[in-house]
C-alpha cells in the first residue's frame, strides 16, 4: 500500500505539476492578452466619444454656416443696418428660424444678430430694439469664427434649460455684418454619456472653459453629476500627473494615477472650436480584479482537471480570443478608415459567431444612417443653390460656379464662353396676362436654356439668365446654338391661358475669351454690354464679343 501510494504520488507530481505550471503560464499569457485588449477597447471607446462630440460641433457649424449663407439672412441683417432699402418680412424670418430649431439636434434657440448686436430675428420672442448679450462677452466671439462657449442656465420658451451658446459670423462681400447664434441643450451630452459603451467603473466628464461640468457620470446615472466625485485632496496624484503635461503640445492623451490604492487611467482631449475638455476615467484595477478571479478559477480547474485545462485553453484560443481579435481589428480599421461598410468575418454559428453577426447588423444600420445623413445634407445644399421657380442655379450659386470655371480655365488655358439672356419687354407679360403667365414664361426660358446649352445655367434674378461654358467653340458654333435657342423661344411656347402660340423674344449677349483675357469681372461686364447691344439692335437677337 505504501509503494502504491508512493507511485501514485510520484505520478501525480511528475504529471500534474508540469501541466499545472504550463496551465498557469498559459493562463497568465491569456490574461495579459485580455488586459491589453480591454485597454485598447477602452481607448477606442474613449476616442469614439470624443469624435462624437467633435462631430456634433462640426454638424452644428455646417448647419449654422448654411443659415449664415441664406440670402434671406444677409438681406435681413443689411436691412437692419440700413445698408439695404428692401424690407424683409420679419414674421417669415422668425418662422424660418423656428423651423431650423424644430429640426435641429437639441437646439434650444436660433437667432440672427447684426454687427451692432441688435436681434434681427429669432426662434423665440424678442423686442425689435433688443441688444444681444453677445455684445458684452469675450471679444473673441466677435471675430465671426465658429465657436461654442461656456454653459449656463436660463428660462427658455421650452422651460428652464442648461445650455451652451454657439456663434458664427455672417459675411457680405467679405465684411462681417452680423452673427448666427444658437443655444444648444446640454441634454444632448447627457444622452451621449448614457449611450457610451464604457467598461468597468468608467466615469465621463465634459467640462467647459471654466471647468464647470456640462455632463458627468457613468452610463447608468441619468442625472448628470454637478461636481467631481472626489475631493481636491483625493485627486492629488491625478493633479500632479495632470500638471506635468504640456497641454499645448499634447491637447489629447492619457493620465495614469492611483486613488485609494487602485490604478486609474483618464483619457482626455480638447474639443475643437471650444474651450471644453473631455475626460473619461476607468478603474483599471477593477478590470484586473475580474481577470485575477478568472485566473484563480482557471488555476483551480487545472489543479484538478489537467486535460480539461488544455481543452479549455484550446477552446478559448480558437473560439473566444481569435474572434475577439477579429472584432477589435475590424473596430480599429473602422476608426482609422471611417469606413462603415467593413464587416467582421463570421466563421462559426456559436455565440461568438452570433455576436459577430449582431455587430455586423449594427454596422449595416450605422452605414445606412450615415448614407442617409449624407444624402440629406446633399439635398439641403442643393436646395440652398437652386432657384425655387425654375429649378436651375440661383444667383449666388451660378456666380460661384462661373467664377470657379473662369479661374480653372485661366490656369489651363481653356476657352470660356459667358452669356446673359434678358426677356424683352417682360413687364408687359405680367401687366397684360398676369404674373402666373410671367412665371410660366420664365420656366419655359429656363427649360430651353438647360436643354440647349452645355455647361452652367442659372437665373440671375427677375427675367435675366446667365450661362457659361469652358471648352473650345468658334464663333459660328456659338451663333448656331444661340440662333437655335432664339428660334425655339419664338416658336415653341404655348400659352396655358389661351392655348395659343406666343413668341418669347429675348436679347442675348455673349462674350468668348481665353488666356490673359480671362478676368471674371471683365467677362461679366462684356457679356452684359453685349446683351445691351443686342437690345439696341432691335431686340430678339444676339450679339457676340470675342476677346
**176 and 75 assigned to the same domain:** yes
pLDDT of 359 reads: 84
**402 and 534 assigned to the same domain:** yes
Start-to-end CA distance of the chain, whole Å, equals 118
On whether residue 5 sits in a domain, the answer given is no
Q: What angle do CA 417, 423, 429 make, to 5 degrees?
A: 165
**220 and 173 assigned to the same domain:** no
Using the 8-state DSSP alphabet, how is residue 316 labeled? I
Domain span at residue 140 reads 69-184
pLDDT above 70 covers a percentage of the chain that reads 82
On whether residue 350 sits in a domain, the answer given is yes
Q: Is the pLDDT of residue 170 over 90?
A: yes
On whether residue 48 sits in a domain, the answer given is no
The whole-angstrom separation of Cα 102 and Cα 262 is 47
**486 and 365 assigned to the same domain:** no
Span 306-322, pLDDT tens digits: 665 456 555 656 666 67
- Which distant-in-sequence residues (6+ apart) come within 8 Å of 187 by Cβ? 106, 161, 162
Span 213-260, pLDDT tens digits: 999 888 888 888 888 877 777 778 888 888 888 888 888 888 888 887
Q: Give mean pLDDT, residues 471-480.
A: 94
The CA distances from residue 108 to 77, 246, 421, in Å, are: 22, 36, 45
- Which of 67-71, 315-319, 323-327, 459-463 is the least confident region? 315-319
**219 and 105 assigned to the same domain:** no
- Which distant-in-sequence residues (6+ apart) come within 8 Å of 331 by Cβ? 41, 44
Q: How confident is the model at residue 389 (pLDDT cuts 50, 70, 90)?
A: very high
Please count the CA atoms within 13 angstroms of the CA of 30 that sit on its side-chain side: 26
**437 and 516 assigned to the same domain:** yes
What CATH number does residue 540 fall under? 3.30.70.270
Q: How confident is the model at residue 29 (pLDDT cuts 50, 70, 90)?
A: low
Q: Is the pLDDT of residue 293 over 90?
A: no
CA-based nearest residue to 212, from 197, 195, 198, 225: 225
Q: How confident is the model at residue 443 (pLDDT cuts 50, 70, 90)?
A: very high
- Which distant-in-sequence residues (6+ apart) come within 8 Å of 505 by Cβ? 423, 424, 425, 489, 490, 539, 540
Helix (H, G, I), strand (E, B) or coil at 508: strand
CA-based nearest residue to 527, from 512, 517, 505, 541: 512
The CA distances from residue 80 to 6, 92, 112, 182, 202, in Å, are: 103, 15, 11, 20, 51
**318 and 277 assigned to the same domain:** no
pLDDT of 512 reads: 95
Helix, strand, coil percentages in the chain from 3-state DSSP, rounded to 5: 50, 20, 25
Q: Is the pLDDT of residue 90 over 80?
A: yes
**195 and 145 assigned to the same domain:** no
- DSSP assignment string, 342-377: -------SSHHHHHHHHHHHHHHHHHHHHHHHHHHH
pLDDT of 401 reads: 95
Higher pLDDT pick, 138 / 78: 78
Q: Is the pLDDT of residue 297 over 70?
A: no
Contact indicator for 387, 476 with CB cutoff of 8 Å: no
The cell numbers describing 390, all together, are 425654375
The whole-angstrom separation of Cα 428 and Cα 335 is 62
On whether residue 291 sits in a domain, the answer given is no
Mean pLDDT highest for which of 124-138, 320-334, 441-455?
441-455
The whole-angstrom separation of Cα 484 and Cα 478 is 10
**408 and 268 assigned to the same domain:** no
On whether residue 4 sits in a domain, the answer given is no
The whole-angstrom separation of Cα 312 and Cα 150 is 54
Helix (H, G, I), strand (E, B) or coil at 527: helix
Instruction: State the total domains in the chain.
Output: 4
Using the 8-state DSSP alphabet, how is residue 272 labeled? T
Q: How much is the mean pLDDT over the chain?
A: 83
Span 390-423, pLDDT tens digits: 999 999 999 999 999 999 999 888 999 999 999 9
Contact indicator for 429, 436 with CB cutoff of 8 Å: no
Instruction: Tally Cβ neighbours within 10 Å of residue 210.
Output: 8
Q: What's the pTM?
A: 0.48
CA-based nearest residue to 320, from 348, 339, 288: 348
Contact indicator for 380, 104 with CB cutoff of 8 Å: no
Domain end point (choices 142, 169, 184) = 184
**424 and 524 assigned to the same domain:** yes
Domain end point (choices 141, 166, 184) = 184
Q: Is the pLDDT of residue 204 over 90?
A: no
Please count the CA atoms within 13 angstroms of the CA of 267 that sit on its side-chain side: 21
The whole-angstrom separation of Cα 201 and Cα 92 is 51
Cβ-based burial of 29 (10 A; exposed 0-12, middle 13-18, buried ≥19): exposed
On whether residue 33 sits in a domain, the answer given is no
The cell numbers describing 281, all together, are 476615467
The cell numbers describing 218, all together, are 457613468
On whether residue 252 sits in a domain, the answer given is yes
Span 99-148, pLDDT tens digits: 888 887 789 999 999 998 899 999 888 776 688 777 777 777 788 899 99
Domain end point (choices 252, 286, 320) = 286
On whether residue 294 sits in a domain, the answer given is no
pLDDT of 409 reads: 93
The whole-angstrom separation of Cα 136 and Cα 169 is 16
pLDDT of 502 reads: 93
**402 and 442 assigned to the same domain:** yes
Cβ-based burial of 546 (10 A; exposed 0-12, middle 13-18, buried ≥19): middle
What CATH number does residue 217 fall under? 3.30.450.20
**403 and 490 assigned to the same domain:** yes
pLDDT of 368 reads: 76
The whole-angstrom separation of Cα 368 and Cα 360 is 12
pLDDT of 378 reads: 64
Instruction: Tally Cβ neighbours within 10 Å of residue 6.
Output: 10
- DSSP assignment string, 7-30: HHHHHHHHHHHHHHHHHHHHHHHH
Please count the CA atoms within 13 angstroms of the CA of 187 that sit on its side-chain side: 7
Amino acid at each position: 500500500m505504501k509503494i502504491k501510494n508512493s507511485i501514485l504520488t510520484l505520478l501525480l507530481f511528475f504529471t500534474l505539476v508540469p501541466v499545472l505550471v504550463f496551465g498557469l503560464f498559459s493562463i497568465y499569457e491569456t490574461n495579459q492578452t485580455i488586459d491589453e485588449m480591454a485597454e485598447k477597447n477602452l481607448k477606442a471607446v474613449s476616442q469614439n466619444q470624443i469624435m462624437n462630440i467633435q462631430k456634433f460641433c462640426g454638424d452644428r457649424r455646417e448647419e449654422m454656416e448654411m443659415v449664415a449663407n441664406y440670402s434671406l439672412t444677409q438681406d435681413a441683417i443689411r436691412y437692419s443696418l440700413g445698408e439695404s432699402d428692401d424690407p424683409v418680412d420679419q414674421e417669415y424670418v422668425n418662422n424660418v428660424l423656428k423651423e431650423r430649431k424644430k429640426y435641429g439636434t437639441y437646439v434650444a434657440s436660433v437667432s440672427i444678430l447684426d454687427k451692432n448686436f441688435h436681434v434681427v430675428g429669432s426662434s423665440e420672442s424678442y423686442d425689435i430694439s433688443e441688444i444681444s448679450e453677445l455684445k458684452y462677452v469675450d471679444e473673441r466671439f466677435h471675430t465671426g469664427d465658429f465657436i461654442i462657449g461656456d454653459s449656463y442656465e436660463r428660462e427658455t420658451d421650452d422651460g428652464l434649460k442648461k445650455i451652451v451658446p454657439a456663434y458664427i459670423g455672417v459675411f457680405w462681400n467679405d465684411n462681417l455684418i452680423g452673427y448666427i447664434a444658437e443655444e444648444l441643450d446640454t441634454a444632448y451630452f447627457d444622452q451621449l454619456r448614457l449611450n457610451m459603451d464604457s467598461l468597468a467603473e468608467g466615469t465621463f466628464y465634459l467640462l467647459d472653459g471654466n471647468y464647470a461640468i456640462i455632463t458627468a457620470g457613468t452610463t447608468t446615472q441619468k442625472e448628470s453629476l454637478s461636481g467631481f466625485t472626489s475631493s481636491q485632496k483625493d485627486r492629488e496624484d491625478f493633479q500632479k500627473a495632470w500638471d506635468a503635461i504640456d497641454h499645448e503640445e499634447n491637447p489629447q492623451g492619457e493620465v495614469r494615477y492611483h486613488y485609494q490604492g487602485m490604478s486609474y487611467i483618464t483619457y482626455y482631449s480638447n474639443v475643437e472650436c471650444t474651450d471644453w475638455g473631455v475626460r473619461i476615467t476607468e478603474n483599471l484595477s477593477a478590470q484586473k480584479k475580474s481577470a485575477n478571479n478568472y485566473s484563480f478559477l482557471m488555476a483551480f480547474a487545472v489543479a484538478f482537471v489537467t486535460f480539461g485545462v488544455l481543452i479549455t485553453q484550446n477552446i478559448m484560443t480558437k473560439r473566444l480570443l481569435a474572434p475577439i481579435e477579429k472584432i477589435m481589428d475590424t473596430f480599429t480599421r473602422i476608426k482609422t478608415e471611417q469606413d462603415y461598410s467593413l464587416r467582421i468575418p463570421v466563421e462559426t454559428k456559436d455565440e461568438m459567431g452570433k455576436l459577430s453577426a449582431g455587430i455586423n447588423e449594427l454596422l449595416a444600420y450605422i452605414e445606412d444612417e450615415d448614407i442617409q445623413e449624407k444624402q440629406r445634407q446633399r439635398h439641403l445644399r442643393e436646395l440652398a443653390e437652386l432657384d425655387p421657380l425654375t429649378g436651375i442655379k440661383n444667383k449666388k450659386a451660378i456666380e460661384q460656379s462661373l467664377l470657379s470655371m473662369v479661374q480653372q480655365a485661366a490656369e489651363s488655358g481653356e476657352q470660356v464662353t459667358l452669356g446673359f439672356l434678358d426677356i424683352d419687354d417682360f413687364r408687359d407679360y405680367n401687366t397684360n396676362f398676369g404674373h402666373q403667365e410671367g412665371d410660366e414664361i420664365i420656366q419655359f426660358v429656363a427649360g430651353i436654356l438647360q436643354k440647349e446649352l452645355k455647361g452652367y445655367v442659372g437665373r440671375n434674378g427677375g427675367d435675366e439668365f446667365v450661362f457659361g461654358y469652358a471648352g473650345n467653340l468658334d464663333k459660328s458654333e456659338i451663333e448656331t446654338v444661340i440662333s437655335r435657342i432664339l428660334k425655339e423661344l419664338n416658336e415653341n411656347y404655348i400659352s396655358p391661358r389661351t392655348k395659343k402660340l406666343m413668341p418669347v423674344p429675348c436679347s442675348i449677349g455673349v462674350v468668348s475669351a481665353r488666356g490673359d483675357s480671362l478676368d471674371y469681372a471683365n467677362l461679366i461686364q462684356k457679356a452684359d454690354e453685349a446683351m445691351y447691344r443686342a437690345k439696341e439692335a432691335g431686340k430678339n437677337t444676339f450679339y457676340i464679343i470675342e476677346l
